[in-house]
Structure 1
Amino acid sequence: MRYPAAETAEKHQRILTEAARLFREQGFDGVSVGQIMQATGLTHGPFYNHFASKQALMAASTLHGSEHSRAALDAATASPEAMRQYVRDYASAAHRDAPGNGCLLAALAGDARKQPAVRPAFTFHLTSILAKLTTHFPWQKKRKPRQEAIVMLSAMVGAVALARAVDDAALSDEILAAVSTKFAPMAPPTTAPPA
């Protein structure tokens, strides 16, 4: 039975969205095609009408997640304060506690290195994010913005990964706060505070 093109496209997007979420939550090896299809409300059978293999889905879902992350970063480029807020939101307890809805870099960096099919999509995402941070972040030193972007992004991703890994809530919060304070300090007030 043939489905209308719009319905097929909607199912394809559902599969990508659920796969991206589940992979960020459980890792590439931690979730099966059957679990992904169940999460979409579809049976396992039609999977191969959409993707040639789980590896193809992993790569496509990485690009899908990248698209959403890049859109969120684009929205944050409106102002220097919006960029600082982006960093504060990234290095937050809310992000730490919701890997399925968070950054694929922090969730999947360790897994991506073991998945050759995913590495090109992961690399594309990383270079895209670095380019946006290099161009739009309000760097105090303009000499080496790309180098500073690499350092900042590495600290942000590492902070979230470490904050998720420890079993000490206070330490987890401390890690996030240190990175947020370092890279997105509160902007000084533009007017004198009331007396």
Structure 2
Amino acid sequence: MPWPSTRRAESRDRILFSAERLFTKSGFDQVSIDQVMQDAGMTRGAFYAHFRSKQELYSEAILSAAWRMGAQHPTDVETLIRAYLSPEHLGQKKGSCPLAFLVSDIGQRDQPVRDSYTKVFSALATKVSGVPDAEPDAAALRALVLMVGGVAVARALNDPILVERVLAACREGALSETASVPI
């Protein structure tokens, strides 16, 4: 009996979902193809039916993670900023933002990976600007840098009180940058 026509797409999605979680948790160098495939419940051999390399998987996992998260983003800018710069976002075990969770890792990667990261950053900057299909202005870029940087720094800290203070300061700054954005 032949496999259902959706099986290939479902397998690829399982691989991407595992890669998203593992890469955002540990970065590129600490995750192997074997680990991704084991987490996806598949064999290493199946990997090459979907991806040519670990770098290609990494690049696509960044885009896939951003797409999944973007589908869950609140529609108004203030709520988006508050949710992004929250302890709940910081503590997520799945669906962590590749912008903040991989920021220090991306600069060490090849051009296609950096292109994926740039696409995700640009798309979120446009969303933060509050003006669909427009180039984000300086205020939206400042707000997004506060958001990504705030989460990246807070993730590295081990003092919960300081973590909340950093998140709160970045929320305040990002919200003040976008105060004139239509909601």
TM-score where L is the length of structure 2: 0.86
Q: Which residue of 2 aligns with 1:127?
A: 122
Deviation at 1:4, TM superposition (A): 3.7
> Residue 90 in 1 paired to residue 99 in 2?
no
Deviation at 1:166, TM superposition (A): 1.4
> Residue 167 in 1 paired to residue 158 in 2?
yes
Report the AA paired with residue 124 of structure 1: K
Count residues with an aligned counterpart: 174
Aligned-residue Cα RMSD (Å) equals 2.3
What aligned pairs does 1:55-134 form with structure 2 within 5 A after superposition? 55-73=55-73, 76-77=74-75, 82-98=76-92, 100-116=94-110, 117-134=112-129
- Indicate the structure (1 or 2) with the bigger Cα radius of gyration: 1
The whole-number CA distance in structure 1 between the counterparts of 2:94 and 2:31 is 12
What aligned pairs does 1:116-195 form with structure 2 within 5 A after superposition? 116=110, 117-136=112-131, 146-184=137-175
Report the AA paired with residue 173 of structure 1: E
CA contact (8 A) 1:70 1:128 kept: no
Deviation at 1:32, TM superposition (A): 0.6
The whole-number CA distance in structure 2 between the counterparts of 1:145 and 1:47 is 37
TM-score where L is the length of structure 1: 0.81
CA contact (8 A) 1:21 1:100 kept: yes
Report SS of the residue matched to 1:101.
coil
Unpaired runs of 5+ residues, structure 2, are none
The whole-number CA distance in structure 1 between the counterparts of 2:67 and 2:154 is 25
Deviation at 1:45, TM superposition (A): 1.4
Deviation at 1:7, TM superposition (A): 0.9
CA contact (8 A) 1:134 1:145 kept: yes
The whole-number CA distance in structure 2 between the counterparts of 1:123 and 1:145 is 13
Deviation at 1:106, TM superposition (A): 0.3
Deviation at 1:2, TM superposition (A): 7.2
Q: Percent identity?
A: 36
Deviation at 1:58, TM superposition (A): 0.7
CA contact (8 A) 2:100 2:148 kept: yes
Report SS of the residue matched to 2:102.
helix
Report the AA paired with residue 40 of structure 2: T
CA contact (8 A) 1:99 1:107 kept: no
Deviation at 1:17, TM superposition (A): 1.0
